[in-house]
Every structure is written in structure tokens, then in C-alpha cells.
Structure 1
Amino acid sequence: MAPGTITDLRSRIDRVDAELAALLEERALLAAEVQRHKPVGGFAGRDPERERALVAAMARHAPRLGAPRLARIMSAVIEAGLEAAEEEQRGPLADR
């Protein structure tokens, strides 16, 4: 990574954040679809073994963060996605 000014670096961070937001939205939509296929959905349908495997796979791609930090991040991502799916099932999304 080439050094840059703080402004340049922040601009790059902003681009990564925009891409990350789009990926998180896509993930939430896919996870909501999965929820519709599970016999037990929502928080009760969480699969800790699958989540551990997901974090381990991600840690190979993000060694700087490592599994413990990624586990915290992914738990928050999964919970936010489940909350969004539950809200969607209850009715129209409220303005956020």
C-alpha cells in the first residue's frame, strides 16, 4: 500500500466503507431468504457451528483482525441481519 495523505487515505476508506455497506446489504438479503427456508427461524435458528466455521474461513482472509475480532464483528452482522429480517416479516420497513 502506497503512503498517502490523510485526505487520500480517508477517501480510500470511504470507498471501502461504501463497498462494505453494499456487501452487508446483500448478505442481509441472502440471510433473510435463508430464514424463510429454515424450520426454526430468527435468533432460535442460529447455527453456532456454522458461525465458527464462517469466522475461521474469514480469518484466513483477514489475519490482521483474527478470529476473535471477526467473531465479534460477525455476531453483530448476523444479529443485525436477523433483526432486519424479523422487522421485514412484521410489516413495511420503518424509516431509519
Structure 2
Amino acid sequence: MADSPARVHELRNRIDVLDARLAGLLEDRARLAADVQRLKPVGGFAGRDAERERALVTAMAEHAPRLGGDRLARIMAAVIETGLEAAEEELRNAAG
């Protein structure tokens, strides 16, 4: 285990690269979700589609079995809510 600190450093660097990619993907998702919100007759939190969100989590769970549906549901709820908050803030700022 003499190389353990070097291995930890290497793994953390790989995590940092993934985190940067994840941040970019989350930004892209939030931008697209804001576009959708502007097109829906009822936007924001009132316009959430629980059935679509469940289907999204189910599909994602197939690609992330380590996380599973319950954990992904919590993650995606936070992603969706945060994106909606950002979209609503953008609308408020645009309105003046």
C-alpha cells in the first residue's frame, strides 16, 4: 500500500474531471428545462410531470445500478427542483 497516496490522488483527479463534465451537463440540462418551462402552459413547480420524472429515474437506473432507483430519485428531484428555481429566477430577472 506504499502507493496508496498516489493512487488516491489519481482517483481524485479522475473524479475532478468527471465533476467538471457533470457540472457542464447539469448546466445544459437546466438550460433545456428552462426552455421547456417557457413553452408549457403551466410552468415552474406547478408544471412538474411526476409520471415523466418516474420514467426518467427508471431509465437512468438501468445505467446506474450501483445508485439504484431510490438514490437516483433523490438526486433527480434535487436536479429538477434546482433547475426550476434557476428558470424562475431567470424569468423574474428578465421581467425586471
Q: TM-score, normalised by structure 2?
A: 0.91
1:81 Cα deviation (Å)? 0.1
Q: Which stretches in structure 2 are left out of the alignment for 5+ residues?
A: 1-5
Give the greater-gyration-radius structure (CA): 2
Q: Which stretches in structure 1 are left out of the alignment for 5+ residues?
A: none
Question: Residues 1-96 of structure 1 correspond to what in structure 2 (within 5 A)?
Answer: 5-91=7-93
- Equivalent residue pairs, number: 90
Please tell me the root mean square deviation across aligned C-alpha atoms, in Å. 1.3
1:49 Cα deviation (Å)? 0.1
Q: Which structure is higher in helix share? A: 2
Aligned counterparts of 1:37 and 1:86: Cα–Cα separation in 2: 13
Query: After superposition, what is the alpha-carbon deviation per residue over 1:31-62, rounded to whole angstroms, capped at 9, x for unaligned?
Result: 00000110000000000000000000000000
Moved over 6 A (4+): none
Which residue identity lines up with residue 82 of structure 2 in the other structure?
A
Q: TM-score, normalised by structure 1?
A: 0.91
Which residue identity lines up with residue 71 of structure 2 in the other structure?
R
